[in-house]
Structure 1
Amino acid sequence: MSEDRWNTVLVLGGIRSGKSGFAESLVAGAPSVRYVATAAGGEDDPEWLERIEQHQRRRPQSWTTEETGADPSLLTEMLTAAGPDETLLVDDLGGWVAAVLNPARQPNDDEADVAALADAVRATRARVVLVSPEVGLSLVPVTPVGRAFTDALGTTNQALAAACDGVALVVAGQPTWLRGGPLEPVAPGEPAVAAPVASRPVASRPVAVPTPSTPAPPPPPAQPPTVVEPVAAPEPGPLAALQGATMTLPLVASGLTEIKPGMDLPLPSSESGPDARERLASLDLPGGGLGALGEAVEFAAATQGTVTPRVWAGVRVVVIAGGRTGGAVAGVDSADVERRIAEAERGEGLLGRLAARHDADISVLRTATTGAMEDGPITDEESVEAALRDGWRLADGAADAGRDVIVLAGISAGAEAAATAVLAATTGAEAVATLPRVQVPGARFDDAAWMQRCAAVRDALHRIRQEPRGAVDVLREIGGLDVAVATGLLLGAAARRIPVLVDGPLGIAAGLVARDLASQTRHWCLLPEAGTLSLVKQGADVLGLTPVLQTGLDLGEGANALSVLPLLRTAIGLASTSPVHPALLGEVGDDGLDDDAAVIGEPAEFAEPDPHGPGPATTGV
């Protein structure tokens, strides 16, 4: 659904009510519109032809017109084939119903035609506005043909109203939204609950959303979290081969059967992103346009496979909570970490407040506490494989719930030290130069704790200097279960074509590990804000992630991304809904464009004028 809360709209109204003009205003900001005319015949009726010409004169030159004529199935086919970057205006359903009832098509299952059209509207990926006469307010026709038409049109209107996101009634030129639409706030629905295998949800809590016309009260608790906790493995049975701790567990939702190095996952569109960035230069935006936010537009376009990306509507914040022992957690207040995890589970705290403001839901997964990295492997291979599958299932859960972007967050003790060790082990970076300082409440730094962490990372790297450096090996030796879950999430998100906003050390470490399993994962990741940590900046540089913004936020994992999310959404919305600048529309006479150059986005050909008199190289007398 678009940023103004509708993707398909039915506009009803009587004759000369202004319904067509209102419908045209709904799509006026689209870069291009396919106008679908349903009327057939009338060639011998001057008054009817005048009505058609009035409609034609109102349409911008950038619109294209298509006619369904006497074949009503063409409209259903158009809606089915339309892409996500297209906008269709159908005017009107009265002509379509007349074609359905055409005696030449009888006998025919007219109800099946109406049902097929409604299904096409529900399934269409395009932005569609349908115009239809409202027949419920007029007298019952006195002829059988008239009654058959009004009955069929009324049935069609009901079916299409149920299929559309919004329904508007126009009376005397004044529109009233009967459901949805930009004039009526849409009540938030029940938040979807992720249901990965081996997990359990917790109870819901409604979230109050302030209307734009009233001052926003203090932010309420966020939308209810979904707490995902590993449970005990099932008892062996007939399906034990599928339930065991093996990386060949079928991942049915993603269509893959195995997590292993060299996985072939989907890639975003290689053309849509650059084309969307290039298109920004032609939009009717003042000044220099969107600037650095063009990176977000290009990313959204590539991951959605369209030049005009839609705004991210369904956002899921995935919080991965883990723990460690040893020097990696020097200076950590375990009680404070537990408090923040519990707040996220209840939809409270910083992440909860930010998620509530953006209508995002939260999924929290706790991992088991692992050992000290300086002493030996911090977990076993079996646990790593299970954690990878848990992360993949989190991505499947977000996709199945209809979410179109994931914000990866973490509340893990010792995650900074683990991410530093992963960066050093996989890229050769200097750990001392990238390990973040240890900050304690009161904006103070505990340098003694930082030195303990440095020593733990140093000893761990020395211990594994001759060990294999495969993805599972790195996770087992120094990464830990929280990094493994985050890695599985990135893999599953790429498999389900869901973009991920990474933020903080946990996401960077997971990205470095995931690239050894499937290099495509980094192309589904966006770094919204660079933050202040050199660990994040250096890791992002290795992954080829260009931060969209560099505001210096240092709110913690996930919070930076949620803070700048409204700005990213605004940029994507402007890029997808802003029309082409009038000077580039290519109309004859505009800005000196001639007939040959009347093409959108192409300049007029330059012809060097003939010189008047001898030039500077002339030697004649």
Structure 2
Amino acid sequence: MSVDGWNTVLVLGGIRSGKSEFAESLVADAPAVRYVATAADADPEDQEWAARLAAHRDRRPGSWTTEETAGDPRRLADVIASAEPNETLLVDDLGGWVTVLLDPAHQPADDVATIAELSTALRETPARVVLVSPEVGLSLVPTTPLGRAFTDALGAANRAVADACDAVVLVVAGQACWLKPAATAPTTAAPHPASGAALPTSAVPAPAAAAPTSAVPAPAAAPVPNGTVAPQPAPPAQEHPVAWAAPTMTLPMVATGLVIQPGMDLPMPDEYAGPQAVDRLATLDVPGAGLGALDRLVGFAAATQGTPTPTAWDRVRVVLLHGDHAGGAAAGTVPGESDRRADQARAGRGALARLATESRADVQVVRTPDAAPVEDGPALRPDEVDAALRQGWQLAEEAADAGVRLLVLGSCGAGTEAAAAAVLAATAGAEPPTVLGRVVTESGEYDDAAWMRRCAAVRDALQRTRRSPRGAKDVLAELGGGDIAVATGVLLGAAARRVPVMLDGPVGVAAGIVSRDLAGQARHWCLLADHGGHPAVRLAADVLGLEPLLDLRLDLGEGANALAALPLLRSVLALAAALPVHPSLGGGEESVAPTWGDLTAPVPVPDDDEFTEPEPAGPGPATTAPEPERTEPEPDFTEPEPVGPGPTSTRATDTGSTDADDPDRAAVPAGQEPDPSGRRAG
């Protein structure tokens, strides 16, 4: 493999997709190219096919040389294997090669072995090789045996060659989608170490780039135990590839990294595990009616974990977004208050950090771009929106890689409620006064003047953008701001990695509204513990189809409300996973060994045949004085002979009780001993 990351590329594409032109552009700057033609000569009567071949020849520069392998398909592997390190080969195409391979003139032949030889040659060649092949896997199954044989053989060849090549690209309508990016592909034209051939920048599969420095949180200290501030991602010194996990699926990539755009195809939760988990709850051995409304929590956890018996979330991370909004949106806030809250969380102080300690959760404080006054102009530039979305996606990727099983979204910026109200008004048709909560001062009083200034700022922003597009990125740029954009990226990235997200406050639900227009699957990974009595959260939850699990009306700050409810949610999941099925439905009893101090543990009752009367702790009923203390070991217990009248006597004993006082004693006939087990004789 060459030092710049790859030297073999497979270019796939349909008919007239532009795959050949794209492959030729990959080697256009090479000083010399050996063009390997695999197709057989055209039928003299087929003028259209001859014209196609002529067009291919006309596109080739005069410095290229042509070599044909149609006479012997096995020669293709020999040509590639014998190529020198300073050579560049363009093979066009594998479809013609398979056609010749299946020609009766070359049969009998071991097609599988020939394809294996080709893939081995590609792995071992020191030259740079670009292969072109038609993608027939997306078409209908041919109706003829010969057609099926061709598609089967070409599909096997494409798979073997794709596995052997360093990079694979699919060309659709002239647009290149890299399916297998190289490990260290360059982002600029890089010459081959021997040939000097350079790859065009637009044709190289680029790694995901980090967000600009202004949109990336500052580096933090080394990791610390759970419950304190988690380390924040530091901006990379240079571009480096990000290994997107398999659940992310195939996402578009450009030179700047991941492209987040409408119509993204992200995973969905398991549609069967959730209902199965809820149905299982009805069979559990519980003394009451069950979990009530919290059965929806079990169904959500089961769907997102992909199992009917979900477990409690053991790794939880709070992503606290810190970004301010300027202008009227921040009316009534104390200057510097958001910075103080963020510093508190970083230092492990304040309500959020204390609740995180109790809940064994990490807190990650992320600085997001500040938003400009929305009443005067856009909150962010378009490039800042893209960077913020990628930053949020990367935060979700890092959490998933660290083993986090639940993300909690929170915010502590100034003016976030007004920004969320503006987003809801633009996307859900809400009136700003109906989704803007009252402004409360530090002394606990309502500041109606500040509330009216916030309403005016949102109203002016909506008036300014009344003719603007209402796309997801347009709304984030015009009204949303950096914190909502980063939160949107977190939701999308978490859905791609199958990590559920608990929303808490206006910023999270506003991000949920925006993410719905980028990938409709994202909202199905969101959970809302409590609406907190906030009007914006109520409306957004209704639009997203999220029903709050609780109605506690907590107002401890975004993120802290969710952490306060988290122990209850964990307990419900743990209980649902641990309880057995009711015995009447075929379940077995739990066998729990009693421990010291377990006063509620059942005491085993011996069988009737093995019963022995326990030794009395004090003086027996037949004696009036305690026995003298013994120094030698006591013999085995024997029943003492009664002294005085037996239990069948009608006279009172020296304890003062009578037969009438004990129904069991009175029921024993005279001259018969009572049953030592205490049961009546039948």
Q: What TM-score, normalized by structure 1, do the two folds share?
A: 0.57
Tell me if the contact between 1:225 and 1:344 (Cα under 8 Å) persists in the aligned partners: no
Deviation at 1:228, TM superposition (A): 4.2
| Residue of structure 2 in register with 1:225 after alignment | 230
Deviation at 1:368, TM superposition (A): 2.4
Tell me if the contact between 1:204 and 1:224 (Cα under 8 Å) persists in the aligned partners: no
Distance in 2 of aligned mates of 1:318 and 1:273: 26
Tell me if the contact between 2:210 and 2:235 (Cα under 8 Å) persists in the aligned partners: no
- The one-letter code sitting in structure 2 at the alignment partner of 1:565 is L
SS in 1 for 2:556: coil
SS in 1 for 2:457: helix
Residue 586 to residue 284, structure 1, CA distance change in 2 (3 Å): closer
Tell me if the contact between 1:196 and 1:397 (Cα under 8 Å) persists in the aligned partners: no
Residue 570 to residue 250, structure 1, CA distance change in 2 (3 Å): closer
- Unpaired runs of 5+ residues, structure 1, are 1-194, 209-221, 244-248, 588-621
| Residue of structure 2 in register with 1:433 after alignment | 434
| Residue of structure 2 in register with 1:606 after alignment | none
Residue 322 to residue 421, structure 1, CA distance change in 2 (3 Å): same
Deviation at 1:205, TM superposition (A): 7.4
Distance in 1 of aligned mates of 2:244 and 2:442: 43
Tell me if the contact between 2:229 and 2:365 (Cα under 8 Å) persists in the aligned partners: no
| Residue of structure 1 in register with 2:312 after alignment | 311
Tell me if the contact between 1:420 and 1:435 (Cα under 8 Å) persists in the aligned partners: yes
Residue 320 to residue 586, structure 1, CA distance change in 2 (3 Å): closer
1:330-369 deviations in Å (ceiling 9; x for gaps): 0111222211011112222111111111111111111122
Aligned 1:459-608 pairs, distance under 5 A: 459-585=460-586
Residue 563 to residue 469, structure 1, CA distance change in 2 (3 Å): same
Residue 229 to residue 365, structure 1, CA distance change in 2 (3 Å): farther
Deviation at 1:308, TM superposition (A): 0.3
Aligned 1:180-191 pairs, distance under 5 A: none
SS in 2 for 1:320: strand
Distance in 2 of aligned mates of 1:199 and 1:319: 11
| Residue of structure 2 in register with 1:420 after alignment | 421
1:154-197 deviations in Å (ceiling 9; x for gaps): xxxxxxxxxxxxxxxxxxxxxxxxxxxxxxxxxxxxxxxxx988
Deviation at 1:554, TM superposition (A): 1.2
1:299 paired to 2:300: yes
1:381-438 deviations in Å (ceiling 9; x for gaps): 0000000000000000110000100011111111100100101100101111111111
Tell me if the contact between 1:228 and 1:364 (Cα under 8 Å) persists in the aligned partners: no
Deviation at 1:224, TM superposition (A): 3.0
SS in 2 for 1:439: coil
Distance in 2 of aligned mates of 1:200 and 1:586: 55
Residue 371 to residue 554, structure 1, CA distance change in 2 (3 Å): same
1:250-300 deviations in Å (ceiling 9; x for gaps): 856745343110101000011111111111111011211111211111110
1:215-270 deviations in Å (ceiling 9; x for gaps): xxxxxxx4233234668x85xxxx7xx89xxxxx9856745343110101000011
1:203 paired to 2:221: yes
Q: What TM-score, normalized by structure 2, do the two folds share?
A: 0.52
| Residue of structure 2 in register with 1:390 after alignment | 391
| Residue of structure 1 in register with 2:82 after alignment | none
Count how many residue pairs are aligned between Structure 1 and Structure 2: 368
Distance in 2 of aligned mates of 1:467 and 1:303: 37
Aligned 1:247-326 pairs, distance under 5 A: 251=244, 254-255=248-249, 256-257=251-252, 258-326=259-327
Distance in 2 of aligned mates of 1:251 and 1:291: 39
SS in 2 for 1:357: helix
- Unpaired runs of 5+ residues, structure 2, are 1-208, 253-258, 589-682
Distance in 2 of aligned mates of 1:448 and 1:586: 63
Tell me which stretches of 4 or more aligned residues in structure 1 moved more than 6 Å: none
| Residue of structure 2 in register with 1:455 after alignment | 456
Distance in 2 of aligned mates of 1:456 and 1:229: 35
- The one-letter code sitting in structure 2 at the alignment partner of 1:577 is A
Query: What CA RMSD, in Å, does the superposition of the two structures yield over aligned residues?
Result: 2.2
Deviation at 1:200, TM superposition (A): 5.4
Distance in 2 of aligned mates of 1:443 and 1:553: 16
SS in 2 for 1:323: coil
| Residue of structure 2 in register with 1:602 after alignment | none
Distance in 2 of aligned mates of 1:434 and 1:405: 28
| Residue of structure 1 in register with 2:62 after alignment | none
Aligned 1:83-232 pairs, distance under 5 A: 201-204=219-222, 222-228=227-233
Greater share of helix residues, 1 or 2? Answer: 1
